[in-house]
Amino acid sequence: MAVTGPVTRQAKSRLLRIYEQMPMPKYVIAIGSCAISGAPFNGSYSIYEGVDKVIPVDVYVGGCPPRPEAIINGMLRLIKKIGSAQ
Amino acid sequence: MKASNLIESQLKDEAREITVPRERRMFIRIAKENLRKSMKKLIGLEGLTHLSTITGVDVGSQVELIYHIVYEDILVSLKVQVSKEKPILPTIVDLIPGALLYEREIHDLFGVRFKGNPDLSRLILPDTWPDGVFPLRKEWTPERISEKIEDNHENY
Amino acid sequence: MVPEEITAILQVFLFPGFSFLFSLAFFVEWLDRKLVAKFQNRYGPLHVGPKGILQPFADFIKLLSKEDITPAMADRVPFIAMPLLMLTLAMTPLFCIPINGCSALVSFEGDLIVVMFIMTLIALLLFAGAWVSTNRFSTVGGIRAGLQMFGYEIPLNIVMIGPAIGAGSLSISEIIKWQSQGRWFIITQPLGFAILTICLLAHLQVVPFDIPEAETEIVSGWLVEFSGKKLALIRLARNFKLILAASLMTSLYMGGTSGLWQPNPLTYFIKLVVCVFILSNLRALFARFRIDQFLAGVWRYLTPLALLQISIVEVLAW
Amino acid sequence: MKTIKIPFGPQHPALEEPINFIFEVEEERVVNVKPRLGYIHRGIEKLAENRTYHQNVYLIERICGICSFAHTTCYTQAVEELLGIDIPERAKFIRTITAEMERVQNHYLWLGLTAKETGFETLFMYAWRDRETILEVLEMISGKRVNYGMNTIGGVRRDILETMTEQIEDKLSHLEDRAQYYKKICTKEQTILKRTVGVGILRPRDALSLCAVGPTLRASGIPRDVRADDPYAAYDEVPFKVVTYKRCDVASRILVRIDEILESINIIRYALENMPKGPIQVKVPQRVPKGEAVSQVEAPRGENIHYLKSDGSDKPVRLKVRAPTLANLPPLCKMLIDVNIADIPVVIAGIDPCIACAERVMLVDTKTKKRRIWSGDKLWRYSCEWYRKK
């Protein structure tokens, strides 16, 4: 599951619901610094500082917005991680 | 400057004070009572009037609402003040249907109630948001807000 | 074990039977995905196997390994049975299509009617599967699939009867023998071939008519609740439907295995690839119709044209 | 508005608000619509009040990934008006050029997504491939594909050098004939016409009373464009035509946007030729004198309004941002009345919502009063999650 952008208070319940609906094995990749730590919106009353406050995250891709190459690199790492976990 | 003179002539009796910071801009302060009257006049002018948005500003004990209206090429801002204790204003949704969402947003963030607005339900803030907390008011500092929210719905 | 029985078993399991059809299914899916990718100016599957040819097989294995969720509200037995049924139903008509030489494994007078019946059964099964998985999307998807079926069934069946009347027999192998003297029905009945392609597109629920599975409107229609092994079987069944559609087009209108020289599987294979090319070409060209536009279009244009085609065949007996 | 393919990463439109529509439906016809926002409400206006003016530039840029330059232009103009400074001519021209490039990029993106909504995959792929060319140009100028970070209070941070102009030139001509090609398709291709003509009607009278903005308004025949009515940056020196169409449906919105691509390309060409020499930035004090300012900008999706109030300190008292999509919501609700359920995504895409249109469409069947919640399209949820694989 690829999560981008900050997790707002309103959207948290839906994120959790979708996470549970996913068939096993589940992997989450947080794309963008907003998803990693809430980036410029830190301190706002309506967002959580990062996706890992809500669901476990496997791979983080930094950048705001991250470059396409960075995302592809993130995906490759995820695939390696899946391979090693298998 | 035909358009601006036209507006001035129309609103001169209601307007308490008119300032023109630069061409194509105009700020007019009006009393709460004749908000609807001046709005009707503005819409009455032939040509194209379009409500861009309503801005809320917390000025100490009062909440100031600014109605930004574009007429021809001039951006007119009608400023109305309403007290924080009794924040009630007549709605303008019947005059300008487009104002519905703006009024709901102001109601969410500033707590100003618009008499006559058909539906003032939550627009921006989540459903679990505690009533009475109006984030954009100065007295609600970010710390107070987050602490009020934490104890409100920890069950989430 | 008498030699004939061995060869019969070999034929059923090996050559024109299961293993050949399975590999053909994956090859056809790969071909379709590659062609559509080429039309859309992108690569298509690349990494698994040479030129990505093993990608469909890899998808199949991956889906088998995924967790298989049966929604609590859905009634279990039909929900589980539906993909299996769909796969078997999609595969059986392929045995009536002659691939090796002029006669199919199972060829008797009237096997064309059996094929038509099974194709309608598949569409019905799809509607039942959607209804069983009690998800709002799938119910709407199922209703749309049902509606779409009413639309394309009649012209499809009429147009499939055309060549049978022309060749004077209801068995696909006879039709091919009749066409082997070079008189392909595509030349004598071009209108029939066009209508057959359009209806097969609707049968395969491919883009211009993928209304039951419209991604942007109802996520993935009746497919939404199937996951894991069930989804793998359904996708495999869809590949078989594609082979069935392409081979129907070849055997009924383009002379199946009969070609310039002695009938053999190679000519059938080439024509199959040509038909898949036509189908995926159409798939990449159109936007999706709404269900009411589709029904209006079918009842106003396709059915009368199909009747016209049949009357021409009846009168002139080409 | 994105798909589940990996390469469409975060630079995909960072949309503003995933929205929840409540439709009341009689069989296939929609009877009433009620929007519900807030899924991505990040409290930007509250954050802006405890950040300095220069920090706010980065915050404002991240309101919306696609019209980020429009937001920063609007914000910096408001601050410059309060400071009473005038930015150098060259900076004005660079702002105009980058704004028009962002418009071209936005409209190509929108064209692709509308095609995706109607199920036309190929046009979606083609439009997005062509969008890459304009993204390369933007990357060459500003170093970033989306949130360019070009704007700062008092001018622009990067210059458009002479060496870049002829590269930009041939990329623009490529984009121009692609736009002509798409215009031919969108007027002749039967399947697109079937799905867009006569769908989502917005009559001029409704467009005016509901305060629609941008291409949605201009597609109903009303020539209102902030670049013409209240020229900012270098728009008073650059000649251009306001594009309007009369047919008031999704098809005319497609044509308005394609014509605007062509118009923007001419503006960029004209501005590149007679861009004056000179500095591109002016030194600016930290503290802004007391006062208030309203600034308007024509973002790709419509009119963008920023209201800024300052009290002499280095932090704004109040910053109000109204993005064009909020203004286009009431007209959208009007358009969605008595529309076929299958057309809902197409009509929503019509106003090019800067919303993930992850609409959780709740169908309230008026007869049976049964409430069916349709998560309209889980794939499109912006702030929550994309499926990793279909």
ipTM, 2 decimals?
A: 0.80
D219-230 average pLDDT score = 86
The DSSP string of D22-85 is EEEEETTEEEEEEEE--TT---HHHHHTTS-HHHHHHHHHTS-SSSHHHHHHHHHHHHHHHHT-
Q: Which chains touch B (3 or more CB pairs under 8 A)?
A: A, D
Instruction: Report the pLDDT value the prediction gives residue D146, as an integer from 0 to 100.
Output: 81
Whether A54 has a pLDDT exceeding 80, the answer reads yes
Question: Using an 8 Å Cβ cutoff, are B18 and B7 in contact?
Answer: no
Tell me which of D10 and D351 has the higher pLDDT: D351
Q: Using CB atoms within 10 Å of the CB of residue D266, give its burial: 0 to 12 exposed, 13 to 18 middle, 19+ buried.
A: middle
pLDDT digits (tens, 9 = 90+) for C130-175: 888 777 667 777 777 888 888 888 888 888 888 888 888 888 888 8
Query: Are B75 and B131 in a shared domain?
Result: no
What would the two tokens of residue C241 be? Answer: 């439907």
B16-43 average pLDDT score = 84
Q: In B96-119, which positions are buried (b, 16+ CB within 10 angstroms) versus exposed (e)?
A: bbbbbbbbbbbbbbbbbbbeebee
CA atoms within 13 A on the CB side of C274: 13
Distance between CA atoms of residues D13 and D75, nearest Å: 20
Identify the bridge partners of residue D303 per DSSP, sorted by sequence position.
D298
State residue A78 phi and psi, 5-degree precision.
-65, -45
**Chain B residues with beta carbon closer than 8 angstroms to that of D213:** 50
- Chain D residues near any Cβ of chain A (below 8 Å): 6-7, 9-12, 14, 18, 38-44, 46-47, 50, 58-59, 62, 65, 145-147, 378, 381-388
Distance between CA atoms of residues B63 and D108, nearest Å: 42
- Record: contact C292-D390, CB cut-off 8 A: no
- Three-state SS at D166: helix
**Chain C residues with beta carbon closer than 8 angstroms to that of D341:** 217
Identify the bridge partners of residue D371 per DSSP, sorted by sequence position.
D364
Instruction: Tell me the percentage of chain D whose pLDDT exceeds 70.
Output: 79
What would the two tokens of residue D346 be? Answer: 């197409």
Distance between CA atoms of residues C178 and C191, nearest Å: 20
CA of A39, closest CA in chain D: separation in Å? 10
**Chain A residues with beta carbon closer than 8 angstroms to that of C68:** 23
CA of A25, closest CA in chain D: separation in Å? 12
Whether C215 has a pLDDT exceeding 70, the answer reads no
What would the two tokens of residue D89 be? Answer: 């001519």
Instruction: Report the pLDDT value the prediction gives residue D371, as an integer from 0 to 100.
Output: 35
Looking at the domain A2-85, which fold is it?
A: Rossmann fold (3.40.50)
Q: Which amino acid is it at D87?
A: I
Residue of D3, D111, D116, D118 to mutate, testing the C interface (most C Cβ within 10 Å of its Cβ): D118
Task: Please report which helix (H) or strand (E) contains residue C175, including its range.
Answer: helix C172-179
Query: Could you report how far apart the first and last alpha carbons of chain B are, in Å?
Result: 57
- Record: contact D230-B24, CB cut-off 8 A: yes
* Nearest residue of chain B to residue D20 (CA atoms): B123
Cα angle: D311, vertex D313, D314; to 5 degrees: 125
Which of D 152-211 lie inside 8 A of B, CB atoms?
Answer: 208-211
Nearest by Cα to C126 from C155, C90, C95, C164: C90
Instruction: Report the pLDDT value the prediction gives residue D265, as an integer from 0 to 100.
Output: 92
Which residue from D11, D65, D383 is facing A7, i.e. has the nearest CB? Answer: D383
Residue with tokens 């950040």: D51
Which residue from D224, D294, D318 is facing B57, i.e. has the nearest CB? Answer: D318
**Chain D residues with beta carbon closer than 8 angstroms to that of A82:** none
Cα angle: B102, vertex B104, B109; to 5 degrees: 95
pLDDT digits (tens, 9 = 90+) for D125-155: 888 888 888 988 988 888 888 888 888 888 8
Which residue from D38, D43, D147 is facing A45, i.e. has the nearest CB? Answer: D43
Query: Are B130 and B154 in a shared domain?
Result: yes
Measure Cα distances from D76 to A48, D54, D60, D275 in Å: 29, 9, 10, 21
- Record: contact D125-C42, CB cut-off 8 A: yes
Beta strand extents in chain D (DSSP E only): 20-26, 29-36, 151-152, 155-156, 291-299, 302-310, 318-322, 360-365, 370-375
CA atoms within 13 A on the CB side of C183: 11
Give residue B76's domain range. 3-124
Distance between CA atoms of residues D146 and D149, nearest Å: 9
Distance between CA atoms of residues C191 and C209, nearest Å: 20
Question: Using an 8 Å Cβ cutoff, are D294 and D306 in contact?
Answer: yes
Count of domains forming chain B: 2
Long-range CB contacts (within 8 A, 24+) of C16-19: C16/C95, C16/C99, C16/C100, C16/C104, C16/C105, C16/C265, C17/C95, C17/C105
What would the two tokens of residue B117 be? Answer: 């607005």
Nearest by Cα to A1 from A16, A10, A9, A12: A16
Distance between CA atoms of residues C54 and C31, nearest Å: 11
Domain range annotation of chain A: 2-85
Task: Please report which helix (H) or strand (E) contains residue D354, including its range.
Answer: none
Distance between CA atoms of residues D111 and D118, nearest Å: 11
Task: Please report which helix (H) or strand (E) contains residue B56, including its range.
Answer: strand B49-59
Distance between CA atoms of residues A71 and A29, nearest Å: 10
Task: Please report which helix (H) or strand (E) contains residue B47, including its range.
Answer: none
Query: Could you report how far apart the first and last alpha carbons of chain D are, in Å?
Result: 16
Distance between CA atoms of residues D359 and D375, nearest Å: 7
Query: Are B100 and B129 in a shared domain?
Result: no
Question: Using an 8 Å Cβ cutoff, are D220 and D212 in contact?
Answer: yes
Whether D52 has a pLDDT exceeding 50, the answer reads yes
The DSSP string of A11-77 is HHHHHHHHHHHSPSS---EEESHHHHH-GGGTT-TTEES-GGGTS--SEEE-SSSPPHHHHHHHHHH
Distance between CA atoms of residues D7 and A67, nearest Å: 10
Identify the bridge partners of residue D305 per DSSP, sorted by sequence position.
D296, D322
Tell me which of D206 and C138 has the higher pLDDT: D206
Instruction: Report the pLDDT value the prediction gives residue D16, as an integer from 0 to 100.
Output: 36
- Record: contact A25-C67, CB cut-off 8 A: yes
CA of A82, closest CA in chain B: separation in Å? 31
- Record: contact D294-B68, CB cut-off 8 A: yes
Q: What is the pTM of this model?
A: 0.82
Q: Which chains touch C (3 or more CB pairs under 8 A)?
A: A, D
Nearest by Cα to D351 from D320, D386, D324: D324
What would the two tokens of residue C289 be? Answer: 């119709």
Q: Taking the CA atoms of chain B, what radius of gyration do you get in angstroms?
A: 17
Q: What is the CATH number of the domain that holds B55?
A: 3.30.460.80
D269-291 average pLDDT score = 88
Per-residue pLDDT band at D264 (split at 50, 70, 90) = very high
Per-residue pLDDT band at D10 (split at 50, 70, 90) = very low
D44-322 CATH, one of 1.10.10.60, 3.40.190.10, 1.10.645.10, 1.10.3760.10: 1.10.645.10
What would the two tokens of residue A13 be? Answer: 């319940």
Q: Taking the CA atoms of chain C, what radius of gyration do you get in angstroms?
A: 20
Measure Cα distances from A30 to A22, A34, A56, C51, C239 in Å: 16, 9, 10, 31, 35
| C286 DSSP 8-state letter | -
Across chain D, mean pLDDT equals 77
Query: Are B96 and B136 in a shared domain?
Result: no
pLDDT digits (tens, 9 = 90+) for D102-117: 999 889 888 888 887 7
Residue of C61, C62, C64, C69 to mutate, testing the A interface (most A Cβ within 10 Å of its Cβ): C69
Distance between CA atoms of residues D71 and D323, nearest Å: 8
Query: Are B132 and B120 in a shared domain?
Result: no
* Nearest residue of chain A to residue C227 (CA atoms): A23
Distance between CA atoms of residues B35 and B89, nearest Å: 9
Instruction: Report the pLDDT value the prediction gives residue B152, as an integer from 0 to 100.
Output: 56
pLDDT digits (tens, 9 = 90+) for D288-343: 888 888 998 898 888 888 888 888 888 888 888 887 877 888 888 888 777 776 77
Whether B59 has a pLDDT exceeding 60, the answer reads yes
Instruction: Tell me the percentage of chain C whose pLDDT exceeds 90.
Output: 0
Instruction: Tell me the percentage of chain D whose pLDDT exceeds 90.
Output: 8
- Three-state SS at D274: coil
Identify the bridge partners of residue B70 per DSSP, sorted by sequence position.
B50, B75
Domain range annotation of chain D: 20-39+337-389, 44-322
What would the two tokens of residue C174 be? Answer: 């006879």
Judged by average pLDDT, the poorest of A9-23, C111-125, D323-337 is A9-23
CA atoms within 13 A on the CB side of D316: 30
Identify the bridge partners of residue B27 per DSSP, sorted by sequence position.
B19, B77
